[in-house]
Structure 1
Amino acid sequence: MTRNPLETIMGALVLLVAAVFLVFAYTTADLRQVKGYPVSAHFMKVGGLSVGGDVRLAGIQVGSVTGQTLDPETFEAVVTMNVLEDVRLPRDTRAVITSDGLLGGSYVKLIPGSAEDTLAPGDTLERTEDYQSLEDLVGEIIFLATQPAGAGGD
């Protein structure tokens, strides 16, 4: 059984195009972790946040998630992240885990405060808001809709 030389050339060409595509995708995708100073934050729920996920300020990536651990005393998720050196965050900055749309992944959204002093490397963000999934939001809406009128509970 002999092979057609045209099939061999076409197979090599397909492999070459695939290799060029992989090199292009790796060099253009920003998959590297941000180099900067480390900060951490404690959350009750992280909702699918993964290591390597974005840390954004005003919608712009200023850092990346470098790790997640569980605090054995409080049972909270401890998220560590690196923030760019030139981004000096006020001490009262808030960290919120949010979703990038219905089908997007989760990321850490930073909301800067107004404090004069800034976070030092290794500091912990004290003000955090946990991830709120779509299921949680729908559950709250159903709960509010099924409450009798005037039963606000206040």
Structure 2
Amino acid sequence: MSENTTEVLVGGAVLAAAVGFFIYAAQVGGYEMGSSDSYRLSASFRAADGITVGTDVRLAGVRVGSVTDLTLNTETFRADVGFTVLDDVEVPEDSTVAISSEGLLGGNFVELLPGGSLEALAEGDEIYNTQSSVSLVTLLLRYVGGNGGDSTQ
């Protein structure tokens, strides 16, 4: 093999690795190709610790969308979260949305907990039943401090 052929092969391998890293970074960053096959919903949380734009939205442990917007509502002092859900997933209108954790050291994700209504949410609807994230540090401090969740001490 000549030096030119070796250089071309090494260059091709480096280029393939760069494309692979780019695709991985786009997926981790929440970029979705062909995201027109989803609809947008929103919810308001007391605390949205651990989620950012691009965070997974899951239903029964399966990724069905992602967080697209995260803002502070200055009137209610709540975190307004916008997210997308795949078109073929019909979310009942009495569903609950919660911020859940993947485990002790894992990240957080938005979890859809379907209700029993026969009516489904449509583009732009808001889910009013929400459960905010639970801070592990706060729980540990309450336990260690002997407060046990009693706010009168």
Normalising by the smaller structure, the TM-score range is: 0.7 to 0.9
Output the TM-score relative to the length of structure 2. 0.78
1:128 match? 130
Of 37-46 and 99-108, the range deviating more from structure 2: 99-108
**1:100 and 1:147 mapped to 2: Cα distance?**
27
47-56 or 93-102, larger mean C-alpha shift: 93-102
How far does residue 101 in structure 1 lie from its aligned partner after superposition? 2.6
Note if 1:21 corresponds to 2:23.
Answer: no
Could you give the per-residue CA deviations for residues 53-101 of structure 1, whole angstroms, max 9, x where no partner exists? Answer: 1000011000110001111210100000010001000111111112223
In structure 2, the residue corresponding to 1:95 is in which secondary structure? Answer: strand
Correspondence for 2:115 among 98, 113, 116: 113
Which shows bigger deviation, 31-40 or 119-128?
31-40
Structure 1 position 135, deviation (Å):
0.6
Aligned to 1:52: 54
Per mean C-alpha deviation after superposition, the further-off stretch among 132-141 and 29-38 is 29-38
Deviations, residues 106-144 of structure 1 (Å, cap 9, x unaligned): 21011101112111110111110111121122134335x
The alignment's C-alpha RMSD in Å is 2.9
- In the alignment, the residues of structure 1 paired with residue 50 and residue 6 of structure 2 have an alpha-carbon distance, to the nearest angstrom, of 42
Give the match for residue 66 of structure 2: 64
Q: Secondary structure at the match of 2:47?
A: coil
Q: How many residues align?
A: 143
Match of 1:104 in 2: 106
Of 132, 135, 141, which residue of structure 2 is paired with 1:139? 141
Q: Supply the AA of the counterpart residue of 1:94.
A: T
CA distance in 1 between partners of 2:99 and 2:6 (Å): 48
What SS class does the counterpart of residue 20 from structure 1 fall into? helix
Letter in 1 for 2:13: V
Unaligned runs of 5+ in 1: 1-5
- CA–CA separation in structure 2 for the residues paired with 1:81 and 1:109: 11
For the residues of structure 2 that align with 1:138 and 1:10, how far apart are their CA atoms?
A: 58
The more displaced of 54-63 and 13-22 is: 13-22
Identity among equivalent positions (%) equals: 38
CA distance in 1, matches of 2:10, 2:79: 46
User: Higher Cα Rg: structure 1 or 2?
Assistant: 1
TM-score when scaled to structure 1? 0.77
